[in-house]
Amino acid sequence: MGFTSLLMSIVNIFTHQGSFTWVTLAFSIACAINLLLIRQKGKAAVLSIILFSIEMILIFIYFIVSGIPDGFSVLWTAMLPCFGLLMFGVKNGTLASLVMFAIIAFFYWIPYGQSLLQYPYSPTFKMRFPLLYLAFLAVAVLLEKIREASKSALTESRRKYEFLCYHDALTGLYNRFWLQSVIDNPEQYHLKPAAVAVLDIDNFKFINDNFGHPSGDIVIKDIGQAIVDTLNGSGDVCRWGGDEFLIIFHTDIDAEMVCKRIVDNVCAHRFVFDKENFNTTVSVGLVLAPNGGTDDIGKLIHQADINLYHAKDYGKNCTINSELKP
Give the catalytic positions in this structure: 243
Looking at the DSSP bridge assignments, the partners of residue 283 are: 200
**Residues in the chain, overall count:** 326
Give the HSE-up count for residue 38: Cα atoms under 13 Å, Cβ half-sphere: 14
Residues 207 and 219 sit within 8 Å (Cβ to Cβ): yes
Non-local (6+) Cβ contacts of 74 within 8 A are 63, 64, 67, 129
Residues 286 and 222: their CA atoms lie apart, in Å, by 21
CB atoms within 10 A of CB 112: 8
Non-local (6+) Cβ contacts of 39 within 8 A are 45
* Alpha helices in 67-109, H assignment, sequence order: 80-109
Residues 306 and 285: their CA atoms lie apart, in Å, by 7
User: Secondary structure of the chain: what % helix, strand, coil (to 5)?
Assistant: 65, 10, 20
- End-to-end, the C-alpha distance of the chain in Å comes to 63
Burial class (CB in 10 A: 0-12, 13-18, 19+), 63: buried
